[in-house]
Chains A and B, each alone.
Chain A
Amino acid sequence: MSAPLLAARGLAVRIGRLTIVDGLDLAVHRGERLAILGRNGVGKSTLLHTLAGLHKPVDGTVELDGTPVEALGGRALAQLRGLLAQHQTDAFPATVLETALVGRHPHLSRWDWEGARDERIAREALAALGLAELADRDIGRLSGGERQRVGIAALLAQQPRLCLLDEPLAHLDLNHQIAVLELFGRLAREQHVGIVMVLHDVNLALRYADRVLLLFGDGVHAAGPVAEALDEAILARLYGHPMRRLATAGFAHPIFVAE
């Protein structure tokens, strides 16, 4: 069997005095979707950055496709995994298409200019997020949700084999939340892309992830298939708030609501 897309072994991640995980073993295989859940400030983003090879763990290793991240150069790393950052900040004006084209950077050599093929890939990525008509709009004139979708389009244009998504649903309204999760679901099914995503909605995690990683704080974590790993007691502990499971006849997944 080939190496998993992402493998963490004995991973200990700390930021300042906060221990995020200690002794985390994790594998994400091709076409697999993992959701990371946890309270605000528990270190979900830092863990995601560590898995992306952008933050040094205190202990343990992260391997991408069988190679330790430290051994991969920036370009090879960028062709393998893509990170959707939590915030999209723009200092300079640029069009939506130019912003999506930035994702092609790791596929171009030093003196290459973006060609017709890159533009086609970027336009397809924009179309997949319903942004085709906005291609020539300045990013400064987009709404928060539109800007978030442009960020996702840039990630698609990067064509990574592993997508690390930091709150991919931020600023998105309901229909776009579902559309984005369906899109990554298709990528996982059809192109065997691995997906790791930080989510806030337990019920969307139930529907759109195969497994969950729960961060309880102080380095305590738990992982497992979604259906088994999530119940009222565990979620109450995870969020520090009582939760109730609702019976949902004719619906594939249970629904959890905060009391």
Chain B
Amino acid sequence: MHVLVLLLQILVLFAVVMLHVAYATYFERKIIGHMQVRMGPMRVGWHGLLQPIADGIKSFFKEDIIPEQADRPIFLAAPIICLVAMLTSLAVLPFAPGWVLADINIGLIFILAMSSLSSYGVILAGWASNSKYTFLGGLRSMAQVISYEIAMGLSLVGVMMLSGTLNLSKIVEAQGTSFGGMYIFPQIIAFFVFCVAMLAETNRVPFDLPEAETELVSGYATEYSGMRYAMFFMAEYIGMIVMSAIGTICFLGGWNGPFTVPGVPFFWFVLKIYLFLFVFIWIRATLPRYRYDQLMELGWKLLIPLALANIALTGIVKAIIG
């Protein structure tokens, strides 16, 4: 019985997240469209509302082209690795008190691990396509993920120190229900580092080097088509959602809000995620792209020292206050 309930929960979560992914693409196109004095999708359904569905159906029915020289098994597996790793990390996210599939003690570490794992998909895709552009994209992705993983992990250490736990639900609880309890205030430096690293981890502008379309055509995904190509996109958007959730949980007090909305315990959580997603999209419409070495420089020379300083500072303050 328990297993059945769990399966049902997984199914619901999967469906909800997939719907979010589909409509995240829609809202991205709409928001960027309006920021760029154009309309965005308008044709399919009212104001293009059915566009993501149409896109999904289209990519399902497209031919799955596999390059002759590609390393076939890896080529086929890479997008799945990406998607599965990202979907797995959803399991530990607490959407509301008690609304979590697997309330494990190392939730934060688990998510970091999964996001690293998904970059394997990207690297393998770059390698297995046997094309120079994808290879460069894969290499860039590898270097980027390794560098920014460190910055991100370190930025979250401050949160761990304050809350004394790695369990995501407990981190939210540790922040209390008051507005001032949110870790964004004591951990403002960490929040800054986290936000930058979050953009880099999800390969978003201004750190979208692995798929920089004007340089590497489409980066690691150049040789992919149809559903497999769509899988990379799904993974990217789920990654955005997961990272937004981490930001919400660790810095913005999770599901807590100024008042509780009856019947919708996850109201504030989802709202905060939407806020993050909007910022993701907003940045995409605004900023140019970094160069590869500048990205590395930013990661190693600025973000990691900042995160380390934040840890030291947090430790000292904690030791003094008690």
A and B held together in a complex: no
Which B residues form the contact surface with A (CB < 8 A)? none
